[in-house]
């Protein structure tokens, strides 16, 4: 069994209550949950984070705020019962070893297998953070195979979510599916939160640059993120507006709906889009763009990339899908377009080409919306309050 990284073993630390946070992507602990983990530590808890990858920069960042890290075997994508049972067993062993008072799991596999393992380990305070139910719960997931996977997932969720802990959701569509699937037996356990929030100190507003318009999409390279539609819309616009630029920033994904590197290289060679690769820090790219675009029809929670664009002061074009539509007030800080519709997407982008002032006007409204509803400090306080984790050291 792997040893803890940064585990505190002093007598004083042993008296503190412990929280275990389980994820399916180690980098997300620093990118998406760092402020939440820091708030837990600041409230007097000993925190151990569990994730599959030994990502050194993330582990080092967690250590600076006193959060220990423990690796666990977990495949983020795919359905392999044997591997998933190994994940469940490893989580059970790890949680028994850590013996936390509280467990918080986020994303599908950690919620299902992490909470089942916590239950088997006798941990009473078990909470789930549903950051988006994912593609199998989308309206596009109609194949018999996906229907079977969804049915199995619903039953696993029901078993995993038994208890009295909170089930946090980012949008009403996820709450509705949880209720429709009878995944919880007490409606008061479901708590709505405005996404993961955004840190305004880390993502300060930046003036929209002058010059030719730059449309930026940040997403994993998955078809249901709307990348193909973005490329087709760009192709339509570049014929009449060759100075407009269309950029894609994001990592390759192992999922079944992944876009290959060869495919995106072909688009780049055609001159339709610029592929920027993957970046640990997206701020320079947001600062350099005119408008942020995310035409996703994946079942998002509330996309973190969009929240970061709002905080930067960028107008947003997104799809009329759960999680995405919550970030835009139509005609005020951007446009909501039908999913899988490159024609309407191109028409929305053309507004900014025709009127260069529009991006600045809508960008200011985006910043107001971000400050009003998506401040990470407010989000984290709500999470801690509902989990009854405030002032643990008092």
What confidence tens digit (pLDDT) does each residue in 278-295 have? 998 999 999 999 999 999
pLDDT at 76: 73
CB-count exposure of residue 257 (10 Å: 0-12, 13-18, 19+) = middle
pLDDT tens, residue by residue, 204-218: 999 999 999 999 999
Tell me if 311 sits within 8 A of 367, measured CB to CB. Answer: yes
Crossing angle between the packed helical segments 342-354 and 227-238, to the nearest 10 degrees:
50
pLDDT at 10 over 60: no
CB neighbourhood size of 334 (10 A): 31
Instruction: Look up residue 392 and give its DSSP letter.
Output: T
394/264 Cα distance (integer angstroms) = 54
Instruction: Look up residue 6 and give its DSSP letter.
Output: S
Instruction: Look up residue 258 and give its DSSP letter.
Output: B
Please give the backbone phi and psi of residue 393, each rounded to the nearest 5 degrees, phi first.
-90, 0
Tell me if 366 sits within 8 A of 334, measured CB to CB. Answer: yes
76/74 Cα distance (integer angstroms) = 6
Better pLDDT: 273 or 1 = 273
pLDDT tens, residue by residue, 60-107: 999 999 999 999 999 876 678 899 999 999 999 999 999 999 999 999
Distances from the Cα of 114 to the Cα of 1, 194, 255, 332, angstroms: 17, 23, 21, 41
Tell me if 218 sits within 8 A of 249, measured CB to CB. Answer: yes
Adjacent-strand bridge partners of 246:
215
pLDDT at 8: 45
Per-residue confidence at 15, pLDDT binned at 50, 70, 90?
low
pLDDT at 141: 60
Tell me if 171 sits within 8 A of 106, measured CB to CB. Answer: no
Instruction: Look up residue 222 and give its DSSP letter.
Output: B
Nearest 10 degrees: CA dihedral of 135, 348, 246, 333?
A: -80
CB-count exposure of residue 17 (10 Å: 0-12, 13-18, 19+) = middle
**Which two structure tokens, joined as six digits, stand for 203?**
């993502």
Instruction: Look up residue 333 and give its DSSP letter.
Output: T
**Which of the residue ranges 39-43, 110-114, 186-190, 364-368 would you say has the lowest mean pLDDT?**
186-190
Q: State percent of the chain over pLDDT 90.
A: 83
| Domains annotated on the chain, with CATH | 11-196+376-386 (3.40.50.2000), 214-373 (3.40.50.2000)
pLDDT tens, residue by residue, 295-323: 999 888 899 999 999 999 999 999 999 99
pLDDT at 338 over 90: yes
pLDDT tens, residue by residue, 264-279: 999 999 999 999 999 9
144 contacts: CB under 8 Å, gap ≥ 6 = none
Better pLDDT: 298 or 219 = 219
pLDDT tens, residue by residue, 123-162: 999 999 999 887 678 766 667 877 888 899 999 999 999 9
């Amino acid at each position: 069994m792997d040893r803890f990284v940064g585990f505190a073993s002093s007598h004083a630390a042993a008296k503190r209550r412990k929280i275990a946070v389980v994820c399916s992507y180690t980098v997300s602990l620093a990118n998406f949950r760092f402020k939440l983990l820091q708030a837990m530590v600041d409230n007097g808890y000993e925190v151990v984070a569990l994730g599959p990858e030994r990502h050194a920069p993330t582990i080092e960042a967690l250590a600076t705020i006193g959060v220990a890290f423990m690796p666990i075997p977990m495949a983020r994508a795919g359905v392999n019962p044997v591997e998933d049972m190994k994940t469940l067993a490893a989580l059970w062993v790890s949680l028994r070893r850590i013996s936390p008072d509280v467990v918080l799991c986020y994303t599908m596999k950690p919620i299902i297998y992490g909470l089942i393992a916590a239950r088997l380990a006798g941990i009473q305070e078990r909470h789930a953070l549903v950051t988006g139910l994912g593609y199998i719960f989308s309206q596009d997931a109609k194949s018999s195979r996906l229907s079977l996977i969804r049915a199995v997932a619903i039953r696993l969720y029901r078993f995993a979510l038994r208890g009295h802990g909170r089930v946090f959701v980012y949008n009403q569509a996820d709450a509705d599916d949880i209720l429709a699937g009878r995944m919880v037996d007490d409606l008061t356990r479901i708590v709505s939160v405005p996404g993961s929030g955004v840190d305004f100190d880390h993502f300060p507003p930046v003036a929209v640059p002058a010059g030719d318009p730059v449309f930026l999409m940040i997403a994993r390279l998955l078809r249901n993120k709307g990348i193909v539609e973005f490329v087709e819309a760009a192709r339509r616009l570049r014929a009449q507006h060759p100075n407009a630029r269309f950029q894609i920033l994001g990592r390759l994904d192992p999922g079944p709906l992944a876009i290959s590197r060869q495919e995106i290289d072909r688009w780049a060679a055609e001159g339709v889009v610029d592929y920027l690769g993957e970046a640990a820090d997206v701020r320079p790219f947001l600062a350099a763009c005119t408008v942020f675009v995310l035409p996703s029809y994946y079942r998002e929670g509330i996309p973190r990339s969009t929240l970061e664009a709002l905080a930067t002061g960028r107008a947003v074009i997104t799809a009329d899908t759960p999680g995405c539509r919550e970030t835009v007030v139509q005609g005020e800080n951007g446009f909501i377009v039908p999913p899988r519709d490159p024609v309407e997407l191109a028409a929305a982008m053309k507004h900014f080409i025709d009127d260069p002032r529009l991006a600045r006007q809508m960008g200011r409204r985006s910043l107001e919306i971000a400050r009003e509803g998506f401040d990470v400090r407010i989000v984290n306080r709500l999470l801690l309050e509902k989990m009854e984790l405030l002032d643990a050291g008092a």
